Chain A
Amino acid sequence: MKRLKKFFAVFLVLLIPLTGCQGGDDEAASDTENENVVEFEFWSAPNPTQEAFWKSMADEYMKENTDVKINVSPMPESPSSEAGIQAAIASGSAPAVSENISRGFAAQLAGSEAIVPLEEFEGYDELIGNRNMEGSIAGWEFADGHQYVLPIYSNAMLFAWRLDILNELGYSEPPKTYSEVIEVGQKLKEKYPDKFLWARADLVQPTWWARWFDFFMLYNAASGGANFTSGSDFVADRDAGIKTLNFFNDLNENELVLTREATDPFETGMSIMMDIGPWTFPYWAEKFPDLVYGETFALSMPPVPDDVDPADSKTFADTKGLVIYSQASEEQQKAAFDFLTWVYSNPENDLTWFEKTNLPPARDDLSTNDAFVSYLEENPQLNIFAENIPNGTPAIDNEKFVEIQEEIGKEALNPIMKGEKDPEEAWDDMVDAISGVLK
């Protein structure tokens, strides 16, 4: 017994340094020189550019507000940033505020009361007004009527077209309707049998996030951005959905799509159409300098069914934003919100963001505000992204968005691209499967 006691004593002594290794932040937090200082953690996206932006913003803010201390650090990203946030919440070490939150993930967080509604903060309307984002944020309202996310950037996903090859085929601009796209594809195959209209391996995979960049781009275009779910109800536009699936079916029947993994198919001219976000341009500038906007490639909104006006085309908005976590104290939450209000009260900060990241700030006036005009003139390929921010529909706000988007692939898109189902049957199977998920 004595020996056992001694062993446990030694055991506990050895535990002390181990426990001492943890909770450094807590110690730091309680060790503030001035008790009136509010200290909070800010998690930036796990990439150096965004981290640098937020660090510089926090430094500037702290110069003006000496009673606030902001610790900016990148969010853990192993195995994914979402998993890192989950782990932090589970272990009670969530930050006060973080960026890099998609609407779908926000729905999961909101469903578990892990984040707080932003419209309840004093000064919310002022923030939205100052940043000119009433239109952009409207689509972010959740089914419960709250606004949990402040969108930072919004990429209205577009299609890039190889203008040089289109010119060879006798076209001066990208096709805008389904029948025009199929016609271009048929002409392409006649002239270049080895080329494809679109190379996208994900079309035959049930990968949930891939649906944002194929199905939802085209469904939003066909339906005018109609909701897919509302709360726990499936409310998608059946007519637009079937037309969308019909288009995919036509692409498959005409053998216009390569559904195998390929390296840079668009850049090498193997395919002439690709879904694109502005993050691609720095890569092209470095690796494919021959791709010049207006010369070798053009950008367009997703094509629409023949009976829809192309001017009404909508698309998927790849957009992420900031959330404030409920684990933070009310004082920290308020301090975090005040910091965000300060950042977005000055369009120059959005311009700095745009220049550093190439991600269009989620503002309604991006293409008209003087602060951005010269930058967009220097980068015309970004202008069309800026113009279409109001036409971007964010991801569905349902906690089960992963399962829902998996079912779109498994029941509808994948079998259509494999020639296993007709569009109506695929749509109905998908609806049944999604209804099962939403129960």
Chain B
Amino acid sequence: MNKRNEKLGWLFASPYLIYTLIFFLFPLLWAAYLAFTNWNTIAPEYDFVGLENFFNAFSSETVKAAFFVTYKFMLMFVPIVIIGSLFLAFLIHSLPKFKGLFSVGFFLPYLASGVASAIVVNGVLSYNSPFNEQLRSIGLDVDWLGSPILAPLIIALMMAWKFVGYYALLFLSGLESIPKEIYEAAEIDGAVGWKRFWHVTIPMLYPSFYTVTILAVGLMFGIFTEPYVLTGGGPEYATHTWQLEIYNQAFEKLNAGYGTAVAIINSIVTFLSIYIFKKVLEKWGAKHGWE
């Protein structure tokens, strides 16, 4: 029976294993090899260049920009999206009716095309939009996408708008799963209002908070569409992300070997960053006894 189950297990897992093998493992090995060459994806011949691509990447101004821009986005996006989604989750949780309907409504931006929303934002922030005309009429002339400070903030806000509904669902499921008995017990112990929120709700939401934070941090290393459409990575590389750098190098400048090396560096940086965040969150959770 056990053997039969084991076979069945392998059988059911095999489509995913095959999928992983074809679409992840093989490309990963190929990329690892490609990073040590100067192939441009179309030439019949190429040379093995050793670590040259990696050395070039470490000394590249645009790679450095991508590295720091990612953390800049993180500083803006993560707090905004966590506070926003938490607030939204509480709002939906407190509704007497139609929770599902509102959940779906706030989830919709997540399904919206990044290109479409970027074009809309571009229109809203354009020099002659009604919004800017109004601002100028009161003496405020703001170059939203031309400012190295405002441009990344706009993109972070756009992404927060897109993901806030999705993360709110995760928080909502966390809120819904807190047993009522715990609240009742806390009430008996005198924990009401803010006390209840800080000492009961937040600790019980820790697993959701942990998940959302890790997802949000990971997301910052994959930003492409919004800066590509809105700013092209500018002004002055203020919105130049890892994915833009990889795309520009591999598909516009035909430096596929170098682009792959940058992609590998990006993967390592992503892994390390998420790992550090994970450890920090675990320590923080353990310190408060939330784990």
Residues of A at the B interface (CB closer than 8 Å) are: 3, 6-7, 10-11, 14-15, 18, 79-80, 82-83, 86-87, 89-90, 108-109, 111-114, 199, 201, 204-208, 258-263, 265, 268, 270, 399-400, 402-403
Q: Does B17 contact A (CB under 8 A)?
A: yes
- Pick out which of these stretches binds chain A: B88-96, B184-192, B251-259: B251-259
Contacts of A263 on B, CB cut-off 8 Å?
Answer: 123, 126, 128-129
Q: Once the chains are docked, how many angstroms separate the CA of A114 from the CA of B22?
A: 27
Q: Is B11 part of the contact surface with A, judged by Cβ < 8 Å?
A: yes
Please name all residues of chain A whose beta carbon is closer than 8 Å to the beta carbon of B7 when the two chains form the complex.
Answer: 3, 6-7
> In the assembled complex, which residues on chain A have CB atoms less than 8 Å from the CB atom of B40?
108, 112
**Which residue, B40, B128, B232, has most C-beta atoms of chain A within 10 A?**
B128
Q: Are B247 and A79 in contact (CB under 8 A)?
A: yes
Contact A261 B125 (CB under 8 A): yes
Known A80-B251, A261-B126; further 8 A-B contacts with Cβ < 8 A: A6-B7, A79-B247, A112-B43, A260-B143, A260-B146, A262-B128, A263-B128, A399-B254
Is there a chain A Cβ closer than 8 Å to B267's Cβ? no
Complex interface bits, B25-58 against A, C-beta within 8 A gives 1, otherwise 0 = 0000000000000001111100000000000000
Instruction: State whether A11 and B143 are in contact (beta carbons under 8 Å apart), knowing that A83-B251, A261-B122, A261-B125 are contacts in the complex.
Output: no
24 A-B contact pairs sorted by A residue (CB < 8 Å): A3-B3, A6-B7, A14-B15, A79-B247, A86-B41, A89-B41, A89-B42, A109-B42, A112-B42, A112-B43, A114-B43, A258-B127, A260-B127, A260-B143, A260-B145, A261-B122, A261-B125, A261-B127, A262-B128, A263-B126, A263-B128, A265-B128, A270-B128, A399-B254
Q: Is the CB of B128 within 8 A of A18?
A: no
The answer to whether B41 and A268 touch across the interface, beta carbons within 8 angstroms, is: no
Is B129 a contact partner of A82 (Cβ separation < 8 A)? Answer: no
- Tell me if A15 and B127 are in contact (CB < 8 A): no
Assess the A204–B146 pair: CB atoms within 8 A.
yes
- Residues of chain B with a CB closer than 8 A to A10's CB: 10-11, 14
Give residues 92-117 of B contacting A (CB, 8 Å). none
Q: Within the assembled complex, what's the spacing in Å between the Cα atoms of A83 and B224?
A: 16
* B residues in contact with A86, CB < 8 Å: 41-42, 251, 254, 256
A217 to chain B, nearest CB (A): 20
The 10 closest A-B pairs by CB, nearest first: A112-B43, A83-B251, A262-B127, A112-B42, A260-B127, A89-B42, A90-B41, A263-B126, A86-B41, A114-B42
CB distance from A405 to the nearest CB of B (A): 10
Min Cβ gap B255→A in Å is: 9
Q: Establish whether residues B251 and A18, one from each chain, have CB atoms under 8 Å apart when the complex forms.
A: no
Which residues B231-258 have CB closer than 8 A to chain A? 232, 234-235, 247, 251-254, 256
Residue from the set B42, B125, B126, B253 with the largest chain A CB neighbour count within 10 Å: B42
B→A interface (CB under 8 Å): 3, 6-7, 10-11, 14-15, 17-18, 22, 40-44, 122-123, 125-129, 143, 145-146, 232, 234-235, 247, 251-254, 256
Assess the B254–A14 pair: CB atoms within 8 A.
Answer: no
> In this complex, what residue of B is CB-closest to A88?
B42
**Do B253 and A7 have beta carbons less than 8 Å apart?**
no
A18 contacts B42, CB within 8 Å?
no
Name the distance in Å between B184's Cβ and chain A's nearest Cβ.
Answer: 52
Q: Please, which residue of chain A has its CB at the minimum distance from the CB of B7? A: A6
Query: In the complex the two chains form, is B44's CB within 8 Å of A79's CB?
Result: no
- Complex CA gap A84/B3 in Å reads 47
Cβ contact of A207, chosen from B15, B232, B251, cutoff 8 A: B232
**Pair B234/A206 contact, Cβ less than 8 Å:** yes
Report chain B residues within 8 Å CB of A90: 41-42
A305 to B235, CA, bound (A): 31
Query: Across the interface, which residues of A come within 8 angstroms of B10, CB to CB?
Result: 7, 10
Q: Please indicate the chain A residues that have their CB under 8 angstroms from the CB of B22 in the complex.
A: 18
**A87 & B41 in contact (Cβ 8 Å cutoff):** yes
Give Cα A89–Cα B256 distance, bound, in whole angstroms: 13
Give the docked Cα–Cα distance between A108 and B256 (Å): 13
Instruction: Give B262 Cβ to nearest chain A Cβ, in Å.
Output: 16
Nearest-neighbour CB distance to chain A for B151, whole angstroms, equals 11
A108, B42: Cβ atoms closer than 8 Å: yes
Question: A79–B114 Cα gap in the complex (Å)?
Answer: 13
The minimal Cβ–Cβ distance linking B122 to chain A, given in whole angstroms, is 6
**Cα distance A89–B43 in the bound complex, in angstroms:** 9
Name the distance in Å between A411's Cβ and chain B's nearest Cβ. 13
Q: Determine the chain B residues whose CB is within 8 A of the CB of A112 once the complex forms.
A: 40, 42-44, 254
Which residue of chain A is the closest to B146 with respect to CB atoms? A260
Minimal beta-carbon separation of A436 from chain B (angstroms) = 13
Q: Are A402 and B252 in contact (CB under 8 A)?
A: yes
Q: Which residues of A contact B15 (CB under 8 A)?
A: 14
Provide the bound-state CA to CA distance between A7 and B12, in Å.
11
Q: Closest residue of chain B to A11, judged by CB?
A: B14
Tell me, in angstroms, the Cα distance from A10 to B9 when the chains sit together: 12
Beta-carbon contact of B251 and A82 below 8 Å: yes
